[in-house]
Amino acid sequence: MTALDNNDRALCAATARLLEASGRISAWGLGVTVVGMVVLALTGRSLPLVSWLGFAAVVLLGVAERYLAFRLRLDAGLFNDLAAQNTPSLAALDNALQCLGLRKAPDAPRTLQDRVLGARQLLQRHGIVVICQSVLFLLALLTQDLR
């Protein structure tokens, strides 16, 4: 496959910036997870069951959130490298990911548009997980004093 043209590189740069912007959402998700862990560690035994389950769910969702945040950061770097021509082609990227064991060799080459769509879907999933964490955290706080 040939090198990316200017429009493709611009799309890669814009996608990388979009994924990098999710860092603030990631920070919120990490914060909620840490607070949930601290609450469970310090007051877990005295919490009502509903509240304890809420904080536990926040922490469990935090594991998924951390994985998705890692993937977003990795993808942002890969798109940056494509935009800066540090990675010469999509085929070279696929080969590198296969060598690292991060991806199986695709049967058919994925287009740049497919990759951008996949990155956006990953961003949406991450946002959904953080929203669920936030809602559960709020519900756990509201039910903390109920007995």
Which of 36-45, 49-58, 104-113, 114-123 bottoms out in mean pLDDT, i.e. has the lowest? 104-113
Confidence of residue 10 (pLDDT cuts 50, 70, 90): very high
Is the pLDDT reported for residue 45 higher than 70? yes
Confidence of residue 147 (pLDDT cuts 50, 70, 90): low
Distance between CA atoms of residues 23 and 28, nearest Å = 9
Is residue 88 within 8 A of residue 9, CB to CB? The reply is no
54-86 b/e (C-beta count within 10 Å ≥ 16 → b):
bbbbbbebbebbeebbebbeebbebbbbbbeee
Mean pLDDT of the chain: 93
Which tokens is 103 given?
A: 């991806």
Of residues 45 and 2, more confidence is placed in 45
